[in-house]
Amino acid sequence: MNIETLAIHAGRSIDPTTKSVTAPLYLSTTFEREPDGSYPQGFLYTRMASPNREMLEDCLTQLEGGEAAAAFSSGSAATMSVFQALSPGDHVIAPLDAYSGTTALLKNVMMPWGLEVSFIDLTDLGQVEQAVCPNTKLIWTETPSNPMLRITDLAAVATIAHQNNAICACDNTWASPVLQRPFEQGADLVVHSTTKYLGGHSDVLGGVVIAKVEDDRFQRIRQIQIAGGAVAAPFDCWLVLRGIQTLPYRMRGHSANALKLASALVNHPAVEAVHYPGLPDHPGHAIAAKQMKDFGGMMSIQIKGGREAAFAVTAGVKLFTRATSLGGVESLIEHRASIEGEGTQTPENLLRLSIGLESPEDLVADLTQALDQAVVEK
């Protein structure tokens, strides 16, 4: 079944009681037992399972082509469950360029807890091979990376992981299952912040872990979900499930708009560099073209003149919104280094752009006039 059809039908069915086409919202936290003590519908207490969460998990399992999924209250909670399913003393290989929240989680929570972590350039397969230790249990990938849009060869990294009795996990938030299929490249786990493209409207917080195989490792993640209680609420699940229905068409629009904007900016006198894997001269373009169906809606640009010039550009936009997050229908711009804070490796002149679904001509015009003004002021 094609992904456009799955996005609309997976995890959903006509409500047997009311014949509602749209899934009802089940807000109950508890469910009645039968006189014999059984729960024939499978629901006991909403922390353990709920109808709306079950629908979302089923949908996401089918979208990614896995066997099971666990939905969490945030992308960070989903990410943490993967690390918590390991044991103190286990070794993790993680990318240098990645979502700063994941890096902070590893450094500030999981390393003190007992995980050993090596941060390396995952685009360099030689570094990946050299980083493997006897106790390596997980290689964590994020591609395209946040915020530099670096591309990791998923198939190659998964092969290295499996040759060393480790697993490969992929944060697929930026690509979504529409553009990238990590399981087909050899990944064992896929993680999403459902807050972003899956929800698609900047109005819900959530995360998910999807397993290629429903094995003992995934059962540990499921137990962390239930025992830890960082579960996705029914209404949040309902919102994400609704957003997924338009995901394939939204991703096409995001990708088309981003490519037009990236192409328009490469020769602007105020722009030092454009980071977008859809550009032929991007260092990861060939790998991205091999493992992605399109190049996504995220890009970063570096502004000539440093931090002050970058902030001048953000001050000059009229259509873009100065805000963090990504994946909504509206276009966002942010100075990423100031969001990441102390210790960031992100260049001070870098702006991260989440390209929305507005007219691409309007987006180009807005950013161009802000860049033109920055050149005049300089």
318 part of the active site: no
Q: What is the pLDDT of residue 341?
A: 87
372 part of the active site: no
DSSP track, 320-368: SEE-S---SSS-EEEEHHHHH-TT--S-TTEEEEE--SS-HHHHHHHHH
The answer to whether the pTM exceeds 0.95 is yes
Phi and psi at residue 282, to the nearest 5° = -65, 135
Bridge partners for 302 per DSSP: 273, 350
- Contact partners, residue 81, CB within 8 Å, separation at least 6: 70, 72, 209, 221, 224, 225, 228, 230
CB 191 within 8 Å of CB 140: no
Q: What is the pLDDT of residue 378?
A: 63
In this model, does residue 24 exceed pLDDT 80? yes
Tens digit of pLDDT for each residue in 28-52? 999 999 999 999 989 999 999 999 9
Bridge partners for 274 per DSSP: 301
Rounded to 10°, the helix 306-316/360-377 angle is: 130
Q: Where are the alpha helices (DSSP H) in the chain?
A: 3-9, 51-64, 75-84, 100-105, 111-113, 125-131, 154-163, 176-179, 216-228, 234-244, 247-265, 285-291, 306-316, 336-340, 360-377
Cα 24 to Cα 32: distance, rounded to the nearest angstrom: 18
The band of 261, judged by pLDDT with boundaries at 50, 70 and 90, is very high
Strands 271-275 and 298-303 come out as: antiparallel
Tens digit of pLDDT for each residue in 273-295? 999 999 999 999 999 999 999 99
Cα 194 to Cα 192: distance, rounded to the nearest angstrom: 6
Average pLDDT over residues 126-154: 98
**How many other C-beta atoms are found inside a 10 Å radius of the C-beta of residue 315?**
11
Which residue in the list 196, 212, 222, 336 is annotated as catalytic? Answer: 196
Residue count (the chain): 378
The band of 16, judged by pLDDT with boundaries at 50, 70 and 90, is confident
CB 353 within 8 Å of CB 323: no
Cα 93 to Cα 203: distance, rounded to the nearest angstrom: 33
* CA-based nearest residue to 95, from 45, 154, 14, 43: 154
- Burial category of 190 from C-beta neighbours within 10 Å (exposed 0-12, middle 13-18, buried 19 and up): buried
107 part of the active site: no
Cα 368 to Cα 351: distance, rounded to the nearest angstrom: 14
**CA–centroid distance for 202 within its chain:** 14
Which residue in the list 90, 171, 188, 236 is annotated as catalytic? Answer: 171
Which residue in the list 26, 97, 99, 352 is annotated as catalytic? Answer: 99
The tokens for 373 are 């003004």
Cα 12 to Cα 58: distance, rounded to the nearest angstrom: 9
Please, what is the average pLDDT of the chain? 97
Q: Which domains does the chain have, with CATH numbers?
A: 3-244 (3.40.640.10), 247-377 (3.90.1150.10)
Which residue in the list 12, 47, 242, 260 is annotated as catalytic? Answer: 47
In this model, does residue 17 exceed pLDDT 90? no
Phi and psi at residue 59, to the nearest 5° = -60, -50
**How many other C-beta atoms are found inside a 10 Å radius of the C-beta of residue 36?**
6
The tokens for 147 are 């915020």
Strands 136-142 and 271-275 come out as: unpaired
Cα 241 to Cα 244: distance, rounded to the nearest angstrom: 5
Average pLDDT over residues 358-378: 91
Cα 113 to Cα 5: distance, rounded to the nearest angstrom: 43
242 part of the active site: no
Cα 75 to Cα 171: distance, rounded to the nearest angstrom: 10
- What whole-number percentage of the chain has pLDDT above 90? 95
Q: Residue 107 has what DSSP assignment?
A: I
Tens digit of pLDDT for each residue in 294-340? 999 999 999 999 999 999 999 999 999 999 999 999 999 999 999 99
